[in-house]
Structure 1
Amino acid sequence: MPAQFGAGLLRVDLGPGVVAGFTTRHGGVSPAPWSSLDLGTSTGDDPTRVRENRARLEGWVGAPVAFAAQVHGDRVLPLGPDDLAEWSAGEPPAAAGEADGLVTGTEGLGLGVLVADCVPVVLADPVARVVAVAHAGRKGVALGVVHRALDAMVARGARPGDVRGAVGPAVCGRCYEVPEEMRDEVAALAPEAWATTDQGTAALDLPRAVLAQLAARGVDAVHVDRCTRTDADLFSHRRATEAGVTTGRQAGVVVLT
């Protein structure tokens, strides 16, 4: 089980010299309906509150945390010392660029991935000193964004056998109902995603698919098995939409210390 540190960060062990974890919705300053640690810049929340929430996350992990503008693709953006300087500045950017993965070998620069039902993935090779994150939604799983993140790590000296991964809270296969045609399309590319809901209807199990993709590359990964749709401590776009409200974004984060 992950250990909790900070006010709302579930820590996972990715090896020596690495801090990694997943946020919950607790520990921030945003009022309802984002209550309270909303880290997203596209949720309608006040930007000042989001900056404060991100500052609290940075305090918990001891480093500035960079985020991408996620577009449900498979691009992985490399970050380095110049990005560390930019994200350490008094007014850091909202996003490093359009991508659904980030990779770095720069110490002291956190990488973050934002989700509210999609799968957050954090990766680290503590030997080669390379880390990455990936945003694995339905399209990202089908496109293989996790593979692209691993490829980017390998290009920087990582070995898949040395990489440790963690798959964070996401909507589970029992709750992620989709049309049968969509399930078939995704499962054709990621067979382990095929699932049925508790009611017996077509569904996708994205966490299971991501775990299978990592295993296929020889990566040892843990799963923080909490369903965003049913866990009130986590943000869920699907649950909020059903209730007719908006919601915030939680994050997966990893830092080389």
Structure 2
Amino acid sequence: MMHDPALTPIESPLLKASCGNTIRHGYFTRQGGVSGGLYASLNVGLGSNDVRRDVLENRRRVAAWFGQPLERLATVNQVHSPDVVTVDETYAGERPSADGLVTKTPGLVLGVLAADCGPILFADPKNRIVGAAHAGWKGAFYGVAENTIEAMLALGAERSEIVACLGPSIAGKSYEVGPEFVDRFLSENPDYRRFFSPSAKPGHAMFDLPALTTERLLKAGIRAENLGLDTYPDTGRFFSYRRTTHLAEPDYGRQISAIAITED
């Protein structure tokens, strides 16, 4: 199956160097699809108000980039939870409410959607096990990354072999939060104060979600990196929920990050 040359996903140097040709991954941008208007052009969000056939075609293109049909693209109904599901060769298109997926089934493409939240892709190339997680502030706070690692370990992965990368997400300089938000984090761990910096707005702060997420990955005992790409200002490459809100637009698209074990 030939993939669409218009798709030019971003790759993680760490994942690419660690996995070689045994595992393929990509952090897809908003470019290379068929959607129009606010959703131009690779919107994969089934929860958006985009034309459904366009969203399905965009998803088909993503699956085809991995050499797979649309039916082999596994995603979940993301609810900002720490919950992770394991999928295998019996996958039939169901989208349970969760924010992480893991598998050891070759050819099954795991995808997570984002439009400011952090997409994390995981791989254990030695044991051929992969995972994907959607980590907004709630997911990061409540442990979706750690739970994805635990689900991979349950499939036979080794912690020392797991590598992960945080893809395009809203950066600290673009993420202003209110005092109640800050208090929630500091009540959990006063040391979290270092992830907040002063804002121009009194009582508010700028929150470095990628730094928190990356630190939690490293503290979980795996190798990890952050691509350092901010979704908010990059209108050409990324959808952004917060940007849409500030512009008072009626809806927004979602980009996808995906990973798959190559078939023998």
Please tell me the residue identity of whatever aligns with 1:236: S
Once residues 122 and 192 of structure 1 are traced to their aligned partners in structure 2, the CA distance between those partners, rounded to angstroms, is 27
1:59 aligns with 2:64: yes
User: Structure 1 148/193 Cα, relative in aligned 2: closer, same or farther at 3 Å?
Assistant: farther
Segments of 4+ moved more than 6 angstroms: none
Residue 49 (structure 1) aligned to one of 51, 54, 58: 54
**8 Å CA contact retained: 2:176, 2:199:** no
**8 Å CA contact retained: 2:199, 2:206:** no
Alignment-derived partner of residue 9 in structure 1: 9
**8 Å CA contact retained: 2:120, 2:165:** yes
1:241 CA drift (Å): 1.1
User: Structure 1 100/159 Cα, relative in aligned 2: closer, same or farther at 3 Å?
Assistant: same
Once residues 241 and 58 of structure 1 are traced to their aligned partners in structure 2, the CA distance between those partners, rounded to angstroms, is 30
CA displacement, residues 23-56 of structure 1 (integer Å, 9 cap, x when unaligned): 1110000001111000100110111000100011
1:112 CA drift (Å): 0.4
**8 Å CA contact retained: 2:77, 2:99:** yes
1:203 aligns with 2:202: no
1:192 CA drift (Å): 7.2
Please tell me the residue identity of whatever aligns with 1:39: V
Once residues 214 and 261 of structure 2 are traced to their aligned partners in structure 1, the CA distance between those partners, rounded to angstroms, is 23
Once residues 199 and 99 of structure 1 are traced to their aligned partners in structure 2, the CA distance between those partners, rounded to angstroms, is 36
Alignment-derived partner of residue 251 in structure 1: 256
Please tell me the residue identity of whatever aligns with 2:174: C
**8 Å CA contact retained: 2:131, 2:148:** yes
**8 Å CA contact retained: 1:15, 1:164:** no
1:199 CA drift (Å): 3.3
Once residues 158 and 213 of structure 1 are traced to their aligned partners in structure 2, the CA distance between those partners, rounded to angstroms, is 19
Return 5+ residue gaps in structure 1 as ranges: 87-92
Once residues 42 and 175 of structure 2 are traced to their aligned partners in structure 1, the CA distance between those partners, rounded to angstroms, is 24
Alignment-derived partner of residue 170 in structure 1: 169
Once residues 132 and 193 of structure 1 are traced to their aligned partners in structure 2, the CA distance between those partners, rounded to angstroms, is 29
Alignment-derived partner of residue 89 in structure 1: none
Once residues 169 and 20 of structure 1 are traced to their aligned partners in structure 2, the CA distance between those partners, rounded to angstroms, is 14
Once residues 77 and 193 of structure 1 are traced to their aligned partners in structure 2, the CA distance between those partners, rounded to angstroms, is 32
1:11 CA drift (Å): 2.0
Which SS does the other structure have where 1:10 is aligned? coil
Match runs of 1:1-257 below 5 Å: 7-12=7-12, 13=16, 14-16=18-20, 17-63=22-68, 64-83=72-91, 86=92, 93=93, 95-187=94-186, 188-189=188-189, 191=192, 194-196=195-197, 199=200, 201-232=204-235, 233-245=237-249, 246-257=251-262
**8 Å CA contact retained: 1:69, 1:96:** yes
Once residues 8 and 106 of structure 2 are traced to their aligned partners in structure 1, the CA distance between those partners, rounded to angstroms, is 23
1:197 CA drift (Å): 5.9
Once residues 76 and 15 of structure 1 are traced to their aligned partners in structure 2, the CA distance between those partners, rounded to angstroms, is 23
CA displacement, residues 192-234 of structure 1 (integer Å, 9 cap, x when unaligned): 7722266374122111111101111221112211111111110
**8 Å CA contact retained: 1:228, 1:234:** yes
User: Structure 1 174/35 Cα, relative in aligned 2: closer, same or farther at 3 Å?
Assistant: same
**8 Å CA contact retained: 1:192, 1:209:** no
Please tell me the residue identity of whatever aligns with 2:228: D
**8 Å CA contact retained: 1:124, 1:131:** yes
1:159 CA drift (Å): 1.3
Please tell me the residue identity of whatever aligns with 2:8: G
Once residues 54 and 34 of structure 1 are traced to their aligned partners in structure 2, the CA distance between those partners, rounded to angstroms, is 13
Please tell me the residue identity of whatever aligns with 1:47: R
Return 5+ residue gaps in structure 2 as ranges: none
Once residues 30 and 236 of structure 1 are traced to their aligned partners in structure 2, the CA distance between those partners, rounded to angstroms, is 16
What is the root-mean-square deviation of aligned Cα atoms in Å? Answer: 1.7
Which SS does the other structure have where 1:174 is aligned? helix
1:135 CA drift (Å): 0.8
Deviates more, 1:195-204 or 1:224-233: 195-204
